[in-house]
Amino acid sequence: MNLECMTALELGAAIKKGEISAVEAAKFSLGQIDKYDKKLSCFVTVQDNVLARAEEVQKKIASGEYTSPLAGVPMGIKDNMCQKGIQTSCGSRMLYNFKPTYDATAVEEIMNAGAVPLGKLNMDEFAMGSTSETSWFGVTKNPWNTECVPGGSSGGSAAAVAAGECFYALGSDTGGSIRQPASFCGVTGIKPTYGSVSRFGLVAYASSLDQIGPLASNATDCAAVLAEIMKHDSRDNTSVATKGINLDAVMNMEVKGMKIGIPTDFFGEGLDSGVASCIESAAKQLEAMGAQIEKFDMPIVKYAIPAYYIIASAEASSNLSRYDGIKYGYRAENAGDLLELYTKSRSEGFGMEVKRRIMLGCFVLSSGYYDAYYRKALQAKALIKSAFDKAFEKYDLILGPVAPTTALKIGENLSDPLKMYLGDVYTVMINLAGLPAASVPCGFDLNGMPVGMHLIGNYFDEEKILGAAHAYQQVTDWHKRRPTGLDII
């Protein structure tokens, strides 16, 4: 049985039928990690109990306890989700030794579905970054070209799925952190509606924007994962009870008759021509499948990045004040008094990008500047939401690029933070509005790097987004392409 080309659902079905065991599947994935991860550095931690867990899962599938179509499938978890007893570092020296005493709800739910977690996946420090270069544990490489970044902050999650080291992964998305690496690595990823997946046990970056979601090799795998983790949780006060995901509804969705809007403002200055032409071809493909495509104006786009970086930094500066070198995490040595202990631990524990955002957040919240920056950004957020509300009165879905470029070379943007922030132009507004959106592979640029299209839906329209993506993936094979150079690197 050739596991290399299998999707998570195909593998889950084969395990259920007894054609392959969960243990054999786990051994295969561990072998893949052995083969590729020295070069790619997707994993920060590989768990040492993978085979024991796989054996346990196999027994519980046999006994009928695990009935999920994903039971027994090996997967990975972004290193900002708490898993009991497993180092959860968030890509930071600050949490280099942190072993949670409980599971995040999303982890708990996926374990209840019979997941076999392989380990924790690399990310930008505290999810702050768009390249996975700011991790204390080193840079993850893009499997399509190891001189390029995988995107971020869920770069380890996207690269591991693209390289076939795991069959799906959990990521998190505050300003594009699932969708942008999915686009850069040629995999499918979705950020669901804010509140639909519990944030309990997710290390907080910007709590009003953070959302957990899946990355996988196609839309139906993403739907299957979402179906398991989209559940109401009383431990997260922003958790929303949704109707959940129906896999059949996703698989039977037709694009015919859908109205899809394309914001003209997404095609302005800064967009690579290679990316633009892939998105235009995807629009034509959807039109050929019976969708009605229409362009419309959305001039608020240009204010999304300023509003996002104000709000996200403000929340980050508050959320990260918990790291004091006392309760858990990194503690500096030789601190004379309490204040010095805080300052030294935080200065040595946090990297430059985290420090930058803490300072920016302190600035926009400080007295005298609060109204001009923070309050203003919350007003911009209201305007962004109403622009989308208006668009969804007319359209079923909104289509555009995920990122203005394909994966950049390692180091290209690291010393120029503003340039890195500008790459988030299309993704951050979705988080500000709290909407669901996916990245779906739709072509390659001239250098052979993958391009993702952005499918944005109205609140709780995850089925519609993934249904349209599935229909698209029935007639295209971009999502089936795999990096070819991996075995010779």
Chosen residue from 96, 267, 342, 444 binding other proteins by CB under 8 A = 342
Instruction: Name the strand (E) or helix (H) holding 110.
Output: helix 105-112
The one segment of 22-30, 34-42, 109-117, 415-423 that binds other proteins by CB under 8 A: 415-423
Q: Which of 53, 346, 464, 479 binds other proteins (CB under 8 A)?
A: 346
Strand partners, 172: 212
In the complex, minimum distance from the CB of residue 403 to other proteins, in angstroms, rounded to a whole number? 18
* Positive/negative CA dihedral, 191, 7, 202, 364: negative
**C-beta of 208 vs 277, nearer to other proteins:** 208
Closest CA to 138 of 30, 40, 33, 48: 40
Q: How far is the CB of 42 from other proteins (least distance, A)?
A: 25
Task: Assess whether 234 carries a catalytic annotation.
Answer: no
Distance CA 251, CA 239 (A): 26
Using the rule CB under 8 A, is 35 a contact of other proteins?
no
Q: Does 488 bind other proteins (CB under 8 A)?
A: no
Give backbone dihedrals phi and psi of 270, rounded to 5 degrees, phi first.
Answer: 95, -15
Q: Is the torsion defined by CA of 98, 160, 463, 292 positive or negative?
A: positive
What's the CA dihedral at 384, 263, 240, 200 to 10 degrees? -80
Binding span for other proteins by CB under 8 A among 8-16, 121-129, 222-230, 347-355: 347-355
Contacts to other proteins from residues 81-140, by CB under 8 A: 97-99, 101-102
Q: How far is the CB of 111 from other proteins (least distance, A)?
A: 19
300-319: which residues touch other proteins (CB under 8 A)?
302-303, 305-307, 309-310, 317
* Closer residue to other proteins in complex, CB, 323/478: 323
Which position among 49, 67, 252, 366 is part of the footprint of other proteins (CB under 8 A)? 366
Q: In angstroms, what CA-CA distances link 418 with 123, 303, 305, 356?
A: 19, 14, 10, 11
- The structure tokens listed for 460 are 């709780």
Return d(Cα 155, Cα 400) in angstroms, integer.
Answer: 21
156: Cβ contacts below 8 Å, ≥ 6 apart: 41, 42, 43, 44, 76, 78, 79, 121, 122, 123, 132, 140, 150, 169
| Nearer residue to other proteins within complex by CB, 339 or 488 | 339
| Alpha helices, H only, 208-272 | 219-229, 247-251
**Is residue 153 flagged as an active site residue?**
yes
CB neighbours of residue 287 within 10 Å: 13
CB-wise, 184 or 309, nearer to other proteins? 309
Q: Which of 21, 29, 153, 217 is catalytic?
A: 153
Tell the smallest beta-carbon distance from residue 211 to other proteins (Å): 11
Selected binder of other proteins within 259, 375, 390, 394 (CB under 8 A): 375
Of 151-159, 221-229, 232-240, 248-256, the segment contacting other proteins by CB under 8 A is 232-240
* Residue 234 in contact with other proteins, rule: CB under 8 A: yes
Q: Which of 177, 196, 239, 313 is catalytic?
A: 177
Contact predicate 260/291, CB 8 Å: yes
Tell me if 28 contacts other proteins by CB under 8 A: no
Cα separation of 81 and 171, whole Å?
9
177 is annotated as an active-site residue? yes
Provide the sign of the torsion angle of the four alpha carbons 57, 62, 67, 73, taken in this order.
positive
78 binds other proteins (CB under 8 A): no
Residue numbers 180-199 binding other proteins by CB under 8 A: 193-195
- Residue number, 203 or 435, with CB nearest to other proteins: 435
- Binding status of residue 274 toward other proteins by CB under 8 A: no
What phi and psi values does residue 133 have, to the nearest 5 degrees?
Answer: -90, -15
Closer Cβ to other proteins, 372 or 446, answer by number: 372
Cβ atoms within 10 A of the Cβ of 155, count? 37
The stretch among 3-11, 168-176, 223-231, 359-367 that binds other proteins (CB under 8 A) is 359-367
Amino acid at 252: N
Q: Which 431-470 residues touch other proteins, going by CB under 8 A?
A: 432-435, 459
Of 239, 173, 199, 240, the C-alpha closest to 437 is 173
Start-to-end CA distance of the chain, whole Å, equals: 25
Interface with other proteins: number of residues (CB under 8 A): 73
Does residue 201 touch other proteins according to CB under 8 A? Answer: no
Least CB distance from residue 102 to other proteins, whole Å? 7
Q: Does 372 bind other proteins (CB under 8 A)?
A: yes
Candidate list 1, 62, 359, 475; residue touching other proteins; CB under 8 A: 359
The yes or no reply on residue 30 touching other proteins (CB under 8 A) is no
Which of residues 85 and 290 has its CB atom nearest to other proteins in the complex?
85
Q: Indicate which single residue of 94, 178, 380, 414 sits in contact with other proteins (rule: CB under 8 A).
A: 380
Between CA 142 and CA 138 the distance in angstroms is: 13
Q: Give the active site residues.
A: 78, 153, 177
